[in-house]
Every structure is written in structure tokens, then in C-alpha cells.
Amino acid sequence: MSEGAGSAALVVIKPGMLTTIQDLGRWGYQAEGVPVAGPMDPCAHRLANALVGNAWGAATLEITFIGPELEFEDERIVAVVGASFDITVDGRLVPANAPFMVAAGSRLRVGQRRRGARAYLAVRGGLDVPIVLGSRATHLVSAMGGLNGRPLRAGDRVPLGPPDGARRTAAALADPWPLPERPARIRVLPGPQVEAFTADALDTLQSAPYVIGQNSDRMGFRLEGPRLQHSRGADIISDATPLGVLQVPASGQPILLMADRQTAGGYPKIATVISADIAVAGQLAPGDAIAFTVCTRLEAMAALIAQERALMAIEAAQS
């Protein structure tokens, strides 16, 4: 909450297409109707923080499709992880997936996008916007968190936390963090309302890829593909909506609920993306295709543990 005189900041020269401030999300207030928000690709957010020596929960910039141009008021260690972009500092190319130094007064530009949809820019010390209900995450629809609850605009000053800290920066990633295949392979567990669909609906879900429709955003992806058939109507009494759940309105075309989803919804939910594959979904955008596979809880846990080990191995480079 050190906004104002004295604290260093990032000055936004160009905001990019949709650049928001995110941390691990606003947990604990869904009972009051407050959505969680948080990074669409939580793994890339976490690694960007690790590379600059921040704690996992420090706020980063989530960059979508077209990157911003930022001027630094003081010297900072920065890292960008996730979607692959050409990144320059004062016109010189710097590596993604590795920490680099930006001098006071220098301009960092996240330029041409190569692959993936979202990159996370971490600055040592974190982005120090006010904490609202326990989190700095931006939720766009309720205009909460981040910088006045909205995406960055040209001329904004994003205050930075103190850059001193006990942690060292991590080494560059040995390999870039993996981005989705085409189509993206995403595993789901059936439920919580699989019985609201016909017996063949899970087979239908896996029969062909679904394409992410244009009307898709941080709240959810409207999918276009094989029609899922309800067994007893498409309305239920409103019920909680977990991250990664596939809710299906009367059209039979599922909606994959993402970071900015509402806390509850009134459509039956056929299946839920496993935690380990949320980061895959977070790198997708309209026009991308998803091939769903139903898996077991054991496979879901094995995938999550493998992912956690890979993340921890990188974080272990910090002291």
C-alpha cells in the first residue's frame, strides 16, 4: 500500500491489449459472491516470480496477446515466463524464461508474440498495488483489485515493492515452460453433475476437438464442438462453479470456466479440468482447439505431483 511519493514504479507507456495485475487470487470470499480471479496460467506466474526471487504469491503482470511497453523508475530484476514474446530493453533483445536487469529509466517492450496467449512479467519486489479482500488480483467485471480494478492504461504508474529480499534469483529455465500442443490436450474428471447428461455425453466430449469461440475471456471459454445432450433439462438451482468446470447451457455447447468465473451458476456441469492442466488452458485463446480426455483421479494426482516437482526443482535454485 505504498502508492505515492517515494516508492518506485513502472510507468506504462503502452498498455498492450489486456494487461492486468494478478496474484494467487482472492480466496476466502466466494461465500460473499467475490470471484477468485488470479493468473490464467498459474505455473508461468509462479515461475516468473521464482526467477526474480519473489515469493510465489507476489503480484505479476498478466500480458495477453499484445504486450505492453514499460518504463522503469529504478533498477530492477525482471523475468517474463509463459507465452513466447520477443522482449527488448531499450531496443536490445533479452531472453524470456530468465532473469534480466532493467536499468533505471530504461524501457522494456514486450513485442512480437510467437506462441501461447499469456505471459507473466515479474519484477523483483512485486507489484505493490493495494490489497483488496486479501489479494491484489484484478477482477475485471467487479472492478476489484489491481489498479482500480481495470487493465493497465497508458500513463499509469504501477507501484513496486521494495526490491531487497533474502531470496536469490533462480537460474534461467533449462527449457522454456511447455506451451500447448495443437489441439491442446486437456484432461478432465467427470462431474459434479455428469448424471444430468445422457450416458454417451462423456464419449461425445472426447469424440472431436472443441474450438474456443470469439466471445471468450478471463471468465470462460465458449466452446464450439460436438453437442452434449442433457438428460433432464439445462437448468439447475444455482450451484458453486469451480475453476476448470465445463458447464453446459441448453445449446449443448460447453463453457470452460476460467479465472474470473462467477462463484455460482445455474447450468449442469459435466466435467472438470484437472489441476495440472489448468495452466494449459490458460495459454489458449479464441480459435485454439481443445481435445478433452477423461482421466482417473489417480492420473490427475500423478500429473499434479509431477508438475509440482518440476516447479519446485526450479524454485530450489533460490536459497
DSSP-derived pairing of the beta strands 255-257 and 220-224: antiparallel
Q: Give the count of beta carbons closer than 10 Å to the beta carbon of residue 173.
A: 18
Cell output for 201 = 455425453
- Least separation in angstroms between residue 49's CB and other proteins is 18
Task: Choose one: 109-117, 199-207, 217-225, 243-251; the region binding other proteins (CB under 8 A).
Answer: 243-251
Does residue 1 belong to the site contacting other proteins (CB under 8 A)? no
Our finding on whether 244 is near other proteins (CB under 8 A) is yes
Q: Applying CB under 8 A, which of residues 240, 250, 313, 316 lies at the interface with other proteins?
A: 240
Binding mask 176-215 for other proteins (x = CB under 8 A): ------------xx-xxx----------------------
Residue with the three cell numbers 445449446: 251
| Residue closer to other proteins (CB basis): 192 or 286 | 192
Residue 243 contacts other proteins per CB under 8 A? yes
CB 274 within 8 A of CB 300: yes
Cell of 59: 503480484
Q: Is 301 in the site for other proteins (CB under 8 A)?
A: yes
Please state the closest distance from residue 73 (CB atom) to other proteins, in A. 28
Can residue 249 be called a binding residue for other proteins (CB under 8 A)? no
197 phi, psi to nearest 5 deg: -120, 165
Q: How far apart are CA 169 and CA 122, in angstroms?
A: 12
Does 269 bind other proteins (CB under 8 A)? Our answer is yes
- Return left, alpha or beta for 42; rule: phi > 0 is left, psi -120 to 50 is alpha, else beta: alpha
| Cβ atoms < 10 Å from Cβ of 235 | 13
Query: Nearest approach, Cβ of 35 to other proteins (angstroms)?
Result: 8
CA angle 98, 139, 14 (to 5 degrees): 55
Considering only residues 138 to 167 of the shown chain, the ones binding other proteins according to CB under 8 A are: 141-144
**Residues that bind other proteins in the complex, under the rule CB under 8 A:** 27-36, 132-133, 141-144, 188-189, 191-193, 236-240, 242-245, 262-264, 269, 272-275, 297, 300-301, 304-305, 308
